[in-house]
Amino acid sequence: MALIQTQNLRKYFPIQSMSFFGKKEKVHAVDGVTFQIEEGNTFGLVGESGCGKSTVGRLLLALLEPSGGTVNCFGKDLFNITPKELFQLRAQMQIIFQDPFASLNPRKTVRQILSKPFSIHTKMSRKEQEKAILNLLDLVGLSPPEFYISRHPHEFSGGQRQRIGIARALAVNPKFVVADEAVSALDISVQAQILKLFKKLQEELHLTCLFITHDLAVVRSVCSQVGVMYLGRLVEIAAVDELFEKQCHPYTRALCSATPLPNPSATRSRKQIILEGDIPSPIHPPTGCRFHTRCPKRFDPCDQKEPELMTLEGDHQVACHLRLI
């Protein structure tokens, strides 16, 4: 069953500058995104910086109002419910941020940081909260928890701080978690530890996740499905193994060719596709296929007709006139 479903989701940010004719300009951050996440699955969202990944994550958590389209969370239309219903849903949807230092209040102790979700969403007594916090710290591998509970964020390493961020997101047993570049700020060995922890928690707690990253190697290790974004649109969606086996969109092919393979000699012998040109501005996205200005395979209809996301065999979807097979 799909726990999260978006339909033609759009978010345009108005900007200050005006065009020559006085028309107000806007950034097309997310422009017609349709996908779903099955219960218990981790959906990886990848793409270059500025393609709209974080905006999708924020829309799914109702932290931003969409300019159009719908988000269905747990069977409810997220932007068509009462404030009370939204408040109840918020306990079930949480976010883990990219920067573990900026996302934790430096003046508060771990006890104060982790007691907040319990005070907002539950009626637990102080004693019950203390017990739950100790359990949480243990769950995310900060043990013995008594040793950490009274410390401030600056007394932790980056990896430990990210564990606190994860503990805070898991405090009130959410069903759905958005991890926005949750391991990008960490060095490779700590990254591996946090990914292992994330995978373990995801399996134990049967979490449904949106895992936002620009790193395909990370996607490979934690996600079951992956969506590739380019300039506000999804260009390809597939099961992770399928996508690494066969990329049907030239952009995905270029992204994958830049990702190192587990076998170094295979990486050396593989031909890397280097895209030419800069990413077009999201204020004036190109007509037709948004990728056509950089696409090595472009042909006639690409600059005029926008390709829709089409389903190939199985669950593999691609938005490309050529559909490389």
Ligand X SMILES: Nc1ncnc2c1ncn2[C@@H]1O[C@H](COP(=O)(O)OP(=O)(O)OP(=O)(O)O)[C@@H](O)[C@H]1O
- Say how many CA atoms lie within 13 Å of 250 toward its Cβ: 19
Look up residue 77 and give its two tokens. Answer: 């239309």
Q: Does residue 103 interact with Mg ion by CB under 5 A?
A: no
E strand or H helix at 138: helix 126-139
Phi, psi values for residue 192, rounded to 5°: -65, -40
- What does 13 interact with, of ligand X, Mg ion, none (CB < 5 to 8 A by kind)? ligand X
Partner that binds at residue 298, options Mg ion, ligand X, none, CB closer than 5 to 8 Å by kind: none
Size of the site for Mg ion (CB under 5 A): 1
- Please, what is the Cα angle at 114 between 111 and 120, to 5 degrees? 120
Integer Cα distance of 200 and 59 in angstroms: 27
Kindly tell me the sign of the dihedral angle through the C-alpha atoms of 289, 292, 297, 300. Answer: positive
Choose the one of Mg ion, ligand X, none that binds residue 55, judging by a C-beta under 5 to 8 angstroms depending on kind.
ligand X
Instruction: Report the alpha-carbon distance of residue 217 to residue 210 in Å, rounded.
Output: 16
Angle at CA 182, nearest 5°, toward 74 and 121? Answer: 45
Instruction: Give the residue from 76, 28, 19, 79 showing the smallest Cα distance to 50.
Output: 28
Q: Of the two residues 136 and 256, which places its CB atom closer to ligand X in the complex?
A: 256
**Angle at which helices 158-170 and 110-121 cross, to 10°:** 20
The residue (of 93 and 137) whose beta carbon lies closer to ligand X is 93
Question: Tokens for 61?
Answer: 């958590």
Q: Which amino acid is at 149?
A: I
Nearer to ligand X, 114 or 228 (CB): 228
Phi, psi of 81 (to 5 degrees): -130, 165
State in angstroms the smallest separation of the CB of 45 from ligand X.
8
Residue 282 contact partner, candidates ligand X, Mg ion, none, CB within 5 to 8 A by sort of partner = ligand X
Contact between residue 139 and residue 148 where contact means Cβ atoms under 8 Å apart: no
Give the nearer residue to Mg ion in terms of CB position, either 180 or 242.
Answer: 180
Closest CB 180 distance from ligand X, rounded Å: 7
Contact window for Mg ion (CB under 5 A) among 53-61, 141-149, 234-242, 307-315: 53-61
Minimum Å distance from CB 26 to ligand X? 9
51 binds, among Mg ion, ligand X, none (CB under 5 to 8 A by kind): ligand X
Contact 295, 320 (CB under 8 A): no
- When asked if residue 282 is in the footprint of ligand X (CB under 6 A), the reply is yes
Cβ proximity to ligand X, 146 vs 278, nearer residue: 278
Among residues 54, 94, 160, 162, the one that binds Mg ion under rule CB under 5 A? 54
Write the DSSP assignment of 193-239 as a string of letters.
HHHHHHHHHHHHHT-EEEEE-S-HHHHHHH-SEEEEEETTEEEEEEE
Taking the least distance from each CB to ligand X, the nearer of 50 and 141 is 50
Give the interface segment with Mg ion, choosing from 12-20, 52-60, 85-93, 126-134 (CB under 5 A).
Answer: 52-60
- Residue among 2, 5, 7, 13 that touches ligand X (CB under 6 A): 13
Least separation, in Å, of the C-beta of 299 and ligand X? Answer: 28
Chain positions 203 to 222 lying near ligand X, rule: CB under 6 A, are 214
Q: Can you say whether the dihedral through the CA atoms of 139, 145, 151, 155 is positive or negative? A: negative
User: In the complex, what is the shortest distance from the CB of residue 53 to Mg ion, in angstroms, rounded to a whole number?
Assistant: 5
**Which residue, 231 or 295, has its beta carbon nearer to Mg ion?**
231
Q: Which residue, 62 or 261, has its beta carbon nearer to Mg ion?
A: 62
For residues 45-64, which are near ligand X according to CB under 6 A?
47, 49-55
Q: Does 27 bind ligand X (CB under 6 A)?
A: yes
Binding region for Mg ion (CB under 5 A): 54
Binding region for ligand X (CB under 6 A): 13, 27, 29, 47, 49-55, 214, 282
